[in-house]
A and B are shown apart, each in its own frame.
Chain A
Amino acid sequence: MATIRCDALTKRYGAVTAVDALDLTIAHGEFMVLLGPSGCGKTTTLNMIAGLEEISDGRLLFDEADVTWQPPHKREVAMVFQSYALYPNKTVFENIAFPLRLRGVPREQIDRAVRQAADQLEIAHLLERRPHQLSGGQRQRVALGRAIVRKPSVFLMDEPLSNLDATLRLSMRSLIKRLHHGLGATFVYVTHDQAEAMTLADRIAVMRGGLIQQLDTPDGIYARPANLFVASFLGSPQINLVEGAVEDGGVFARGAFRLPLPAGLGAPGRQVILGLRPEDVGPPGEGLATLHARVELVSPLGSETHLEVRATGEVPLTLRVPKEWRAREGDLIEVGVAPERLHLFDRASEARIA
């Protein structure tokens, strides 16, 4: 069993608060992703869970036991680093075997465990090499090997894929996902890449300025972002945001630009920001609001096309449309939008209204 509970976890560096009274419970076997821009406190939180940073305030509990003051070498966690952190003077075999050696595991057992891990990660042919002779992807596999060889109940990962090139990143991503299924351990994963977060996580904690902005499943975070920041952070291309106000009759208005809102959303006169995801548009139709826009830029991606348009009232929008849509610069188009797909945020607090 390995549940992790952060109880008002706080980290202060002098006058700066890097992590502010964080409350987070991670269930056993869950894949939790801490997502956010650099400086948001996600790595600091991870380090506190690992025991690498001293906790300024609050408590940390593993299976309801207080480990706030337990030094890292006593906590049974494994960790993988962005820089791989392989011991340069040891061979791959010795790197992977190291944690077992420290625990006094007998030699034959170490041998078996290391080879098993190496086979699983397809690096068995590299066991006698040294880290400087390996590629980035290979090094990361060795780092993973060192982590899994202990069969830990908690895996911590600090942006492990950020130093890899794009194609490698994708294959490593699925490797990590498969590892999670195979090992059934609790994973805590830190990243700034929202695609990684969406594909890997059971739940995502979006962080900013030392605080959790939203804690939810990937779907929940994507479909119902709690505030402007979360809505902008997830989704590529970024969500379209339009400042305006709610008018009588439940309509969003900004100058000539108008869209009907779902019933009961927002009191009239309220200053709001409308959110529209680029992919939430389609052909005009029944029950859909209609947007009129002039195409300014066409960016075909092959699998889809991005259009930068100016809707009524000179409102700039980015839209994602299927590749079959033939639009050219200067065309006037009409797209349909389902009001339920619209997001509304209070302009002052940036919090979600519906």
Chain B
Amino acid sequence: MSRWFGYDQRSAAILVFPVVAVLLAVAAFPILYSFWISLHDIVLTRPLRRPFVWFENYGRVFEDPRFWVAVWRTTVYTVVTVVVTTILAVLVALLLNETFPGQRVLSALLLLPWATPSVVNGLMWKWIYDPNYGLLNGLLLQAGLIERYRVWLGDPDLTLLLVANAATWKQMPLAALLLIVTMKAIPDDLYRAAKVDGATVFQRFVHITLPALRPGLMLVLVYETMLSIRHFDLFLIMTQGGPDDATFVMSWLVYVETFRSLRFGTGAAMAYILAMATFLLSWAFIRFLGKRL
């Protein structure tokens, strides 16, 4: 009896209860409810009829060509964002790990993008990309790289990358921070020994820094992927899925289906598929990580 009602168990129950209650209410319950919805044919334009259709919605989603477009777009977007973010984060981490005058100030600046709200981020870059008055056009024109102003966000080939750029800008700081901390744990002696052995700067990087960064890099890759798959705010602000479906990612698909077409049933099914994909990916990553570390 005391095993379950001893002082420790009771205290822990009381201390943990509020958090568990909030999470159950706001996260767990909606997740289950969402699944329940996805099993019904619910369209808000005819709210009174909501037949139970088992997994029909899921079938419809997989047959919907937009779904596969969205999957492809999301994949491209995620890969680009994660790769660029990670590379930039490594470079920034290398820079800020050095000691030089002003390093403190630069490190403080690093948090600037992280603190920026995603809405403002979208606004900022949309203004930079503006076809008539934007900074990008102005810069490139003055540098002689283009002849006249272009409509950047109207170019289907470029838009996804432009949005990825905005996302990278905001996400890089946290990744860089994680890498800096990992780097600081590398003992100086390793580098001194390497220098004595005659290693060049590049060789020291490849043989000492990179291997030591492995766990940090893995963590960054996983975290960034999890985030990028779900990005939504930027797409709402900057491109709304266009132009020509160039930025039609999975989260946008869910939004459109649920809030514009008002088909809650299939919308929930899509959301659930996205959630499952994210979950499986993170689970796979963690298993992969667990073996490598």
Residues of A within 8 A of B2 (CB): 68-69
Residues of B within 8 A of A68 (CB): 2
Digitize A33-73: 1 where CB-to-B-CB distance is under 8 Å, 0 elsewhere. 00000000000000000000010000000000000110100
Our count of residue pairs bridging A and B at CB distance below 8 angstroms stands at 9
**B10 nearest CB neighbor, chain A only:** A71
Q: For residue A72, which residue of chain B has the nearest CB?
A: B7
Give Cα distance in the complex from A173 to B41, angstroms.
80
Q: How far is the CA of A69 from the CA of B6 in the complex (A)?
A: 7
Query: How far does the Cβ of A72 sit from chain B's closest Cβ, in whole Å?
Result: 9
Q: Which residues of A contact B7 (CB under 8 A)?
A: 69, 71
Verify if B64 is at the interface (C-beta below 8 Å from A). Answer: no
Query: Which residues of the partner chain B approach A54 to less than 8 Å between Cβ atoms?
Result: 6, 8
Question: B residues within 8 A CB of A71?
Answer: 6-8
Q: Which residue of chain B lies nearest to A71 when distances are taken between CB atoms in the complex?
A: B7
- Residue on A nearest B5 in the bound complex, by CB: A69
Interface magnitude class on chain B: under 10
Per the bound structure, the CA–CA distance linking A71 and B2 in Å amounts to 11
Task: Compute how far the CA of A68 lies from the CA of B6 in the bound complex, rounded to whole angstroms.
Answer: 10
Alpha-carbon distance between A54 and B2 when the two chains are bound, in angstroms: 11
The residue on B at minimum CB distance from A73 is B7
Q: How far is the CA of A26 from the CA of B232 in the complex (A)?
A: 68
Which residue of A is nearest B7, CB measured?
A: A71
In angstroms, Cα B7 to Cα A120, docked, is 36
How many angstroms from the CA of A68 to the CA of B2 in the assembled complex? 9
What CA separation (Å) do A71 and B8 show in the bound complex?
8
**Docked complex Cα distance between A271 and B7 (Å):** 54
Give the distance to chain A from B7, nearest Cβ to Cβ, in Å: 4
Name the B residues within 8 Å of A69 (CB-CB).
2, 6-7
Cα–Cα, bound, A246→B15 (Å): 66
How many angstroms between the C-alpha atoms of A68 and B7 in the bound complex?
12
Q: How far apart are B206's CB and chain A's nearest CB, in angstroms?
A: 41
- Measured CA separation A68–B1 after assembly (Å): 12
Rounded to whole angstroms, the CA-CA distance of A71 and B6 in the bound complex is 8
Query: Nearest B residue to A56 by beta-carbon distance?
Result: B3
The docked-state distance in angstroms from the alpha carbon of A54 to that of B7 is 11
Q: 0/1 per residue, B1-26, Cβ < 8 Å to A? A: 01000111000000000000000000
Q: How far is the CB of A280 from chain B (nearest CB, A)?
A: 50
CB distance from A97 to the nearest CB of B (A): 25
Instruction: Give the Cβ gap from A219 to chain B, nearest Cβ, in Å.
Output: 41
Q: How far is the CB of A75 from chain B (nearest CB, A)?
A: 12
The complex places the Cα of A54 from the Cα of B4 at a distance, in Å, of: 12
Q: Tell me, rounded to whole Å, the shortest Cβ–Cβ distance linking A315 to chain B.
A: 47
Closest Cβ of chain A to B30, distance in Å, is: 36
1/0 contact string of A56-95 vs chain B (CB within 8 Å): 0000000000001101000000000000000000000000
Instruction: Name the residue of chain A whose CB is nearest to the CB of B11.
Output: A71
A69 to B5, CA, bound (A): 10
Give the CA-CA distance A54 to B9 in the complex, in Å.
Answer: 11
Q: Which residue of B lies closest to A74 (CB)?
A: B7
CA distance A69 to B2 in the complex (A): 7
Minimum Cβ distance to chain B for residue A215 (Å): 29
Instruction: Give chain A residues whose Cβ lies under 8 Å from the Cβ of B8.
Output: 54, 71
CA distance A71 to B12 in the complex (A): 13
CB distance from A51 to the nearest CB of B (A): 9
Q: Within the assembled complex, what's the spacing in Å between the Cα atoms of A37 and B155?
A: 74
Inter-chain contacts of B6 with A (CB < 8 A): 54, 69, 71
Identify the closest chain B residue to A68 (Cβ).
B2
Per-residue interface assignment for chain B, residues 126 to 166, with 1 indicating a CB less than 8 Å from any chain A CB and 0 otherwise: 00000000000000000000000000000000000000000
B155 to chain A, nearest CB (A): 60
A160 to chain B, nearest CB (A): 26
B 259-289 to A, binary, CB cutoff 8 A, 1 in contact else 0: 0000000000000000000000000000000
Q: Give complex CA distance A54, B8 in Å.
A: 9
Report the Cα distance A116→B178, complex, angstroms: 51
Residue of B nearest to A69 (CB): B2
Q: In whole Å, how far is A150's beta carbon from the nearest beta carbon of chain B? A: 20
6 new A-B contacts at CB < 8 Å, known A54-B6, A69-B6, A69-B7: A54-B8, A68-B2, A69-B2, A71-B6, A71-B7, A71-B8
B residues touching A (Cβ–Cβ < 8 Å)? 2, 6-8
Cross-chain pairs A/B with CB under 8 angstroms, 9 sampled: A54-B6, A54-B8, A68-B2, A69-B2, A69-B6, A69-B7, A71-B6, A71-B7, A71-B8
Nearest 3 A-B pairs (CB), nearest first? A71-B7, A69-B2, A69-B6
